[in-house]
Structure 1
Amino acid sequence: METKRGKYDTNPLDPDFVKNAEKDRGEGGNGPVTQPVRSATREVGSAANEEARANIYSETPTRRYDKATLETSYPSVFVPPTYAPPAPYQPAQFTAPPITQRPGKRSVAGIGLSEKWATVLPYTPYLGVIGSLVELFLVPRSEPKVRFHAAQGLALHVAILVLGTAFSVVGAVSGTTAGGSLFKLASFIFLIVSMIRVAKGKPHHISALSEPAQWFNDHIEFKKS
């Protein structure tokens, strides 16, 4: 039984393919034929007034802006807001709390005393000079804390001795000993306060005596033969 084929069921290998294609396009058939144009092309009608187009100078010449300068500036409608200047940055100041370290009870090399009494002894009134010299001669440099207080205590006693002598001379000349007595009392109180501060482990550094204390610490020591 032969299968019924439609319009688009074409096969290029079919011997009737060309004939069927021409028939579908209308070639060789009774389709309409394109007719040639036999009359001349009609011109487009022009405008009634051709004078402006014919005369190139009839129009206003083009204005040049390459060298033009603006006489007045255009007023700006935008007004920038005003701001208060920012406050300068100030970092928070941190103050480290004073470190309190009480002297230990260990024995100090060279003298056998505990560290607490070895640091307090140089500030003892009247006996501090001898204690400072003994510690500077016997305590090795491996004990910097003890030697520091010994040197500072010795410098303090020397300063008190020199100033006390000066007040005595002034009192002998002026005939009054009030100044010398007040100085001795103030010196005694200062030595007691120094002993208490050192015993509590608070930092105790006398800036005015830094150089003489350093000299005593550098030059006074026990040298083994």
Structure 2
Amino acid sequence: MAKKKFDTNPLDPTFPEKIKEAETVVLPKNRFKTSEFPPPSVTEEQTRRFDETNFNNYNSPYNGQNTPANYKTTNLADMNKSSSRKVAKIGLPENILTALPYLPFWIGLIAGLLMLLFVPKSEAKARFHAAQGLAAHIGIFIVSAILSGVGHATDLADMGNWIFTLVTTIMLIVFAIKAWRGKPVHIESVDDLTEWLEDKIKPRG
């Protein structure tokens, strides 16, 4: 008996091989050769290692020059405290220098002028009080001169000048005590003159 196209007779011993051969697709032979990646080349380490000589070269960022001092911020708790630190080139404590420009009469005026001439710019607190005290004395002197001139014409102006001198003397003493104790002293009416004096009068030497 002739076999059918799809003969599924289980008695046929070659049936499994025929089915497997029919389902198998024969691919063409690959003409390309699979190559392996080359071994990684030896390169410099990502983290550079310095010997002791190179490390010492980088240790000083200014090539042996003097390294500037690190800036240290002022503690807010110490802003209003009296300082007994001696000011450079003067040799007097800071609290004494800040009080001198507010002393009444010509003492404070001369002290403020001398401080602006000799206290370095780095001593900002001492220079500020010197300029402000000097500005206050100049303002008092101008007002007193005007009242004295008017006082020749009327006794009322003469009395006003006496009262003004008394009040400003007490005021300057209070300012001197506050500055000596490290308390803030701000005379708003002479702000512009204070800034001008501090800027224009340069320290000598």
TM exceeding 0.5: yes
Please tell me whether residue 119 in structure 1 is matched to residue 119 in structure 2. Answer: no
Partner of 2:149: 169
Aligned to 2:95, the other structure's residue is in SS state helix
Identity level (%): 40
Distance 2:151 2:80 in 1: 43
8 A contact 1:122–1:128 mirrored in 2: yes
Specify whether residues 171 and 148 from structure 1 end up closer, same or farther in structure 2 by C-alpha distance, changes over 3 A only.
Answer: same
Distance 1:138 1:100 in 2: 24
Partner of 2:16: none
User: Structure 1: which 4+ aligned runs deviate by more than 6 Å?
Assistant: none
Q: Measure how far apart 1:201 and its partner are.
A: 1.5
Please tell me whether residue 148 in structure 1 is matched to residue 148 in structure 2. Answer: no
Equivalent AA in structure 2 for residue 104 of structure 1: S
Partner of 2:89: 110
Q: Measure how far apart 1:114 and its partner are.
A: 0.5
8 A contact 1:129–1:157 mirrored in 2: yes
Equivalent AA in structure 1 for residue 84 of structure 2: K
Q: Measure how far apart 1:153 and its partner are.
A: 0.2
Distance 1:201 1:120 in 2: 9
Alignment of 1:176-191 (within 5 A): 176=156, 177-191=158-172
Supply the RMSD in Å over aligned alpha carbons.
Answer: 1.8
Q: Measure how far apart 1:99 and its partner are.
A: 7.3
Q: Measure how far apart 1:109 and its partner are.
A: 1.1
Distance 2:78 2:93 in 1: 21
Aligned to 1:102, the other structure's residue is in SS state coil
Distance 1:103 1:119 in 2: 10
Aligned to 1:147, the other structure's residue is in SS state helix
Equivalent AA in structure 2 for residue 220 of structure 1: I
Equivalent AA in structure 2 for residue 182 of structure 1: I
Specify whether residues 178 and 215 from structure 1 end up closer, same or farther in structure 2 by C-alpha distance, changes over 3 A only.
Answer: same
Distance 1:135 1:105 in 2: 17
8 A contact 1:102–1:200 mirrored in 2: yes
Distance 2:172 2:204 in 1: 30
Aligned to 2:81, the other structure's residue is in SS state coil
Partner of 1:27: none
Distance 2:78 2:204 in 1: 34
Distance 2:195 2:100 in 1: 18
Gaps of at least 5 residues in structure 1 are: 1-97
Alignment of 1:3-152 (within 5 A): 101-126=80-105, 127-152=107-132
Normalised by the length of structure 1, the TM-score is 0.54
Distance 1:99 1:205 in 2: 18
Distance 1:200 1:104 in 2: 8
Normalised by the length of structure 2, the TM-score is 0.59
Distance 1:175 1:125 in 2: 25
Distance 2:128 2:203 in 1: 16
Q: Rg: which structure is higher? A: 1
Distance 1:102 1:128 in 2: 22
8 A contact 1:102–1:199 mirrored in 2: no
Partner of 2:19: none
CA deviation vs aligned residue, 1:114-172 (integer Å, no higher than 9, x gap) = 00100000001120011001100000000000000000000000000000011111111
Aligned to 1:218, the other structure's residue is in SS state helix
Partner of 2:178: 197
